[in-house]
Amino acid sequence: MSLEDEAQRELDELRERSLLRTPRVVDGRQGPTVVVDGREVVSFSSNDYLGLAGDPRLARAAAAASEVEGAGVGSSRLVVGNHREHVALEAAVADWVRCGAATMFNTGYAANVGVLGALLRAGDVVFSDALNHASIVDGCRLSRAEVVVFPHRDLAALERELVQRTDRRRRIVVSESLFSMDGDCADVAALAELCRRHDAAWILDEAHAVGVRGPEGRGFAAEAGVVPDVLIGTFGKALGSFGAFVATTPAIAALLWNRARPLVFSTGLPPAVAAASRAAIEVVRGGEGDERRRMLAARATRLRELVPDLGGIAEGPIAPRLVGSDAAVMKLSARLFEERLYVQGIRPPTVPVGTARLRISLSSAHTVEMVEQLARSLVRS
């Protein structure tokens, strides 16, 4: 059978099982309303939690930077592509999250693959939460370390695994703080203490928490007053831009320059992107960031008052509604779309088999009326 025929057969099978994925087309800016496939809908599908993706200040910072610096940097940052804008952004991150050194990666996906690959090798062991993001899963696999998957948020189980493997060269625990598809949260204070007690290193992925939680939007670790060995944050979600950062110590950052393959072997970000991210940090750190976080929490609280069976932490922006069957969740998502409410259905392999769900994500830019409209629709379904 030709590759083409095999591809077609695989697609048919995915469609049969309600697992086929196809991208929709968006016109114009991201925001609480968005034009999807030519139809204006209220979007509850974006990770733009603070409504910054369409913010004119970010767009202007990007435009100004590309006007002066051009569109691309021409090579990996280790060759001729380490632009002043990258360095300025890293300094802004280090100042914001108060770490010894920050290193940018082109995406959060690349950051996880890069960090895990740089810090682990065969003979090491990595302990990974069962619901960690695909980029962490892939980073663990590529690292060649032994991977121990512990049950979601089960620190007693994690501790049992840790004590059984004290002889390894390096032991690293990796977890998200705010989990992307469940909207629940790791107990970061307890994780910090557990890692300290068992002399394990700790990587915390705060992709969905930076901007959203903690003092100045620095995330859950900052809120709890604990410091992971490596903190990963993204610019593409609450910060409304693109790319990711790794906040760590100078020695670990220097090692990443030598061993993190996505950093070494990939072209640096356009200066415009770095400039937009720096503009976003300014907003997120300040009083306006606090106001946006307050509005986001209020929207999240209101939705959960009206629809009590949603998942996720009380004030959190990720509110999944468990449906179970893949066909049913796509039908429900399509029905909401007809009502001009865009709520993405999430299916395996993004979530475990049998746990398909609507993933509702809220933004400070949603009006209370939008949230109430969604609630009315959900209550009917």
Ligand X SMILES: *Cc1c(COP(=O)(O)O)cnc(C)c1O
> Pick from 33, 112, 248, 277: which binds ligand X (CB under 6 A)?
112
- Bridge partners, 246 (sequence order): 103, 232
* Assigned token pair, 99: 């770490």
Task: Give the helix, strand, coil percentages of the chain, each rounded to 5.
Answer: 45, 20, 35
108 counts as binding ligand X under rule CB under 6 A: yes
One character per residue 6-45, x = contact with ligand X (rule: CB under 6 A): ----------------------------------------
Integer Cα distance of 381 and 372 in angstroms:
14
Least Å distance between CB 344 and ligand X? 13
234 counts as binding ligand X under rule CB under 6 A: yes
Least Å distance between CB 107 and ligand X? 3
Q: Which stretch binds ligand X (CB under 6 A): 93-101, 104-112, 281-289, 310-318?
A: 104-112
State which residue, 269 or 375, has the beta carbon closest to ligand X: 269
180 counts as binding ligand X under rule CB under 6 A: yes
Could you confirm whether 133 is annotated as catalytic?
yes
Integer Cα distance of 356 and 321 in angstroms:
9
* Assigned token pair, 118: 């740089």
> Pick from 107, 128, 248, 355: which binds ligand X (CB under 6 A)?
107
49 counts as binding ligand X under rule CB under 6 A: no
Beta strand 39-43 pairing with 341-342: parallel
Q: Which listed residue (43, 47, 128, 266) is catalytic?
A: 47
Q: Which listed residue (48, 90, 124, 205) is catalytic?
A: 205
133 counts as binding ligand X under rule CB under 6 A: yes
**CA-closest candidate to residue 282, choices 237, 217, 220:** 217
Amino acid at 374: L
Q: How is 64-117 classified by DSSP, letter by letter?
A: HHHHHH-S---SBIIIII--HHHHHHHHHHHHHHT-SEEEEESSHHHHHHHHHH
Return the residue nearest ligand X (CB atom): 108
Integer Cα distance of 171 and 166 in angstroms:
8
- Bridge partners, 321 (sequence order): 358
> Pick from 92, 97, 192, 207: which binds ligand X (CB under 6 A)?
207
How many residues are present in the chain?
381
241 counts as binding ligand X under rule CB under 6 A: no
Task: Taking the CA atoms of 245, 208, 41 and 328 in sequence, report the sign of the dihedral they define.
Answer: positive
> Pick from 31, 32, 236, 270: which binds ligand X (CB under 6 A)?
236
State which residue, 64 or 149, has the beta carbon closest to ligand X: 149
**CA-closest candidate to residue 30, choices 11, 56, 4, 3:** 56
Beta strand 356-361 pairing with 318-324: antiparallel
211 counts as binding ligand X under rule CB under 6 A: no
Could you confirm whether 339 is annotated as catalytic?
no
Integer Cα distance of 320 and 179 in angstroms:
11
208 counts as binding ligand X under rule CB under 6 A: yes
Could you confirm whether 75 is annotated as catalytic?
no
276 counts as binding ligand X under rule CB under 6 A: no
> Pick from 176, 182, 216, 326: which binds ligand X (CB under 6 A)?
176
> Pick from 48, 55, 205, 216: which binds ligand X (CB under 6 A)?
205
Could you confirm whether 180 is annotated as catalytic?
yes
> Pick from 126, 244, 300, 329: which binds ligand X (CB under 6 A)?
244
109 counts as binding ligand X under rule CB under 6 A: yes
Q: Which listed residue (128, 237, 266, 361) is catalytic?
A: 237
Q: What are phi and psi for residue 309, nearest 5 degrees?
A: -90, 20
Q: Which stretch binds ligand X (CB under 6 A): 152-160, 167-175, 183-191, 203-211?
A: 203-211
Could you confirm whether 205 is annotated as catalytic?
yes
Could you confirm whether 305 is annotated as catalytic?
no
Q: How is 242-272 classified by DSSP, letter by letter?
A: --EEEEE-HHHHHHHHHH-HHHHSSBPPPHH
Residues that bind ligand X in the complex, under the rule CB under 6 A:
107-109, 112, 133, 135, 176, 180, 205, 207-208, 234, 236, 244
Supply the residues annotated as catalytic. Answer: 47, 133, 176, 180, 205, 208, 237
